[in-house]
Chains A and B, each alone.
Chain A
Amino acid sequence: MHDFTPGHGVAGGVLIALGLAVILLGSGRIAGLSGIAAGLVSPFTGADRAWRASFLVGALAVGAIFEVVSPGTYDAVAPHRMWVVAVSGLLVGVGTRLSNGCTSGHGLCGIARLSKRSILATMTFFGIGVLTATLVGRLA
């Protein structure tokens, strides 16, 4: 497992939030990453496709720079067997669309404006996430 890295945590957390704040203050949009991802496959979000695409281009371009200059930024191996990863992806896709948000939209943007909906959603996915990971860890 990993060490506790609070310095990197604070720096990264502030940068993540600044990214969301730039979109909010600049264009008046909530940059929920599940919404941005869903925009790639939804047939119903034509007008929003352009800004979502440029957000992803910016994020992946910087991600690629980290891959080149800072080896070890990413995990080199899968977190689990491939079928577990596939099931996980499916559940994350369905779940975030049904609840209209994920860690960024509900967890960071929604909670920050005291949305009751976002607070309850975040408590739910954190609680169930901890239960699931701890249980799977014991079974493995």
Chain B
Amino acid sequence: MNPLTLLGGALFGAGVCISGMVRPSKVLGFLDFDGAWDATLLVVMASALAVTVVAWQVVARLRTPRFGTAFPPPPSPLVDARMLGGAAVFGIGWGLSGYCPGPALVALVAGVPATFVFVAAMLAGMFVVERGDRSNRPDA
């Protein structure tokens, strides 16, 4: 176990628990614009972005990561049907249940059957695409 990535995961896990993002009902309270609308998700995104913007500024001032060999290459400029279609398909799935990948994995610890069903189906979907791809592409 790498202590650095363990720490990163621990911070992430604490964040999704404290913010309430591990509860699909709270996420749906934002995504469903009818009824008692809950803007918390926007606050989570905005405050997280404030930190990641600073993180990239620090990256720009460093030559290499503290414990790694290189920072990620510049983002791909490619905008194609696959990427936009995939984002749309993700949006439908997200809107149906209120689960997104990270919080769903953390929520497994609560032992609610629906979370296991969601994660199993998600991993199956990922496996199908990975198998079809034959090449590994980085995120974002």
Question: Residue A88 contacts which of B70, B87, B96 (CB distance < 8 angstroms)?
Answer: B96
Q: How many A-B residue pairs have CB under 8 A?
A: 520
Closest to A27 in B: B68
Chain B 77-102: CB-based contact to A (< 8 A → 1; otherwise 0): 11100111111111111111111111
Q: How far is the CA of A72 from the CA of B48 in the complex (A)?
A: 23
User: Which A residues lie within 8 Å of B140 (CB)?
Assistant: 30, 32, 100-101, 105-106, 109-110, 115, 117-118
Residues from chain A with a CB closer than 8 A to the CB of B15 are 11-19
**Interface residues contributed by chain A, number (CB under 8 Å):** 121
Rounded to whole angstroms, the CA-CA distance of A1 and B11 in the bound complex is 27
Q: List 28 A-B contacts (CB under 8 A).
A: A2-B23, A9-B43, A14-B47, A14-B48, A15-B11, A15-B15, A17-B50, A21-B55, A30-B138, A36-B102, A37-B101, A41-B127, A43-B130, A51-B5, A59-B106, A63-B110, A75-B112, A76-B110, A86-B117, A87-B93, A90-B121, A93-B121, A95-B93, A102-B101, A105-B139, A116-B79, A126-B91, A134-B34
- Majority-rule SS of B interface residues: helix
